[in-house]
Structure 1
Amino acid sequence: MKLPQSPSDGPLPVTAATPGQNRFDQLIQRVGQAVAWLVFVAMLVSVYEVIMRYGFNAPTDWAHETTTFLVATIFALGGPYALATNRHIQIRILLDRLSPQKRSWLDLLNLVLGILFCLAIGYAAWVLAFNATHAPDGSWRLETSGSSWNPPLPAFIKIIILISIALMALQQVVRISQHWRKNQ
């Protein structure tokens, strides 16, 4: 089976590695494929809620928040997955017109800027995650939703966002390392 070489060649098979992937990206891709099943779980929760609400006049107090948490988790972890599979948005008009040496330098600049972006947004995510897991006096507590069910899902999603950003920063560091080894 021939693998597509670029995003415009069509979708990649679910189990195949993207050409040029490192082992870390391959691991993130496998985890991402497992996390994608959360869409199915969210759908089941939603169907259950509809049946209970309209079929038995017994709405749940947990289905909406659970579905929101599952979808937010998928969305947050989609960043590292898109980066690992090279399926993020790319505008290559300038890059494709450059010589290989200039393209290599621009790729390196892009990786450095990616790390700087992850550090900046990671700081904001750290503050949000810390505030969601600590009371003003510094003691441990998890932020809750404030609903009748009141789960700590807001704290969990903020932690997942922080982990997602950390993964993307680490992916960029690994790629810089690969770039230096390739060009030495």
Structure 2
Amino acid sequence: MRALLKIANVIDGVTERIGGLADWLVMLVVGVGFYNVTVRYLGRFIGVRLSSNLYIELQWYLFSMIFFLGFAYILKHGVNVRVDFLYTKWTDRQKAMVDLAGTILVLIPLCIIGIFAAYNPVLQSWGRSPNGNWGTWEVSPDPDGLPRAPIKSMIIVAWATLLLQSISQVIKYAAILRGHTEIAKAIETQQESIDDVTLPVQK
């Protein structure tokens, strides 16, 4: 179990770094949005078009990336929607049993389906035709717009990172059910290393 928890710890570390990247993207979205608003009104005032589709699309590109990169981070920190008036009254073991069942039966299959469903559309966006040949990638229908392929690829990235974090959560839920509550909580809070926590003696 200790080896599996170390794997979960590594996955959690990757998720934290991805969440940190999303934090920076929030600031970029605010900056690009401020620029778009400023040049739009300034352009109206002086009678010159200063805004560009490139920056307008960049704004929603960045916002979409925050959304996609946040999937795994939200799951790790347990801020996803729950029926709290029931869940908060349960013991750690009861919570772990429900979360384990939901993750294995619903979330992991959903991630796998999401990856497979997005695979071909993403390849087509990069320029792959049904006969296997490669052409030009999908571009914006608007002048000076951004290509669509990179942002569509983030759909697969989102499902893949969510799948990895789901595996980490399964390991931690199983650890709680086996009595390793301290280790599981240490990984979830990122406050302690697994090696710093003593495993309870199994009876």
Q: TM-score, with normalisation over the residues of structure 1?
A: 0.74
- Verify: 1:177 aligned to 2:164, yes or no: no
The alignment covers a number of residue pairs equal to: 163
Is 2:69 the counterpart of 1:77?
A: yes
Higher helix share: 2
Identity rate, percent: 23
1:32 and 2:19 correspond:
yes
Q: Which runs of 5+ in 2 are unaligned?
A: 1-7, 179-203
Deviation at 1:130, TM superposition (A): 1.9
1:146 corresponding residue in structure 2: 141
Higher alpha-carbon deviation: 132-141 or 154-163: 132-141
> Structure with the greater relative contact order (CA < 8 A, sep ≥ 6): 1 or 2?
2
Tell me how large the CA RMSD over aligned residues is.
2.5
Give the alignment partner of residue 115 of structure 1, picking from 76, 101, 108: 108
Query: What letter corresponds to residue 173 of structure 1 in structure 2?
Result: I
Q: Which digits, 9 at most, give the CA deviation of each residue in 1:88-147, with x for residues without a partner?
A: 111245555667665543232111021011112222222321221133243154211121
Q: Secondary structure of the residue that 1:122 maps to in structure 2?
A: helix
* Deviating more after overlay: 84-93 vs 163-172: 84-93
Q: Is the 8 A contact 1:26 1:84 kept in 2?
A: no
Distance change (3 Å), C-alpha of 1:132 and 1:98: same
Q: Is the 8 A contact 1:29 1:85 kept in 2?
A: no
2:153 paired residue number: 159
**Alignment equivalent of 2:128, drawn from 130, 135, 138:** 135
Q: Secondary structure at the match of 2:128?
A: coil
Q: 1:53 to 1:135 in 2, by over 3 A?
A: same
Q: Which runs of 5+ in 1 are unaligned?
A: 1-20
User: How far has the Cα of 1:72 moved from its partner?
Assistant: 0.8
- Evaluate the alpha carbon distance shift between residue 101 and residue 182 of structure 1 in structure 2; reply closer, same or farther with a 3 A threshold: closer
CA contact (8 A) 1:125 1:161 kept: yes
Instruction: Name the larger-Rg structure.
Output: 2
The separation in 2 between residues aligned to 1:88 and 1:99, in whole angstroms, is 19
Q: Give the superposition deviation at 1:39.
A: 2.1
1:55-66 alignment runs, 5 A limit: 55-56=42-43, 57=48, 58-66=50-58
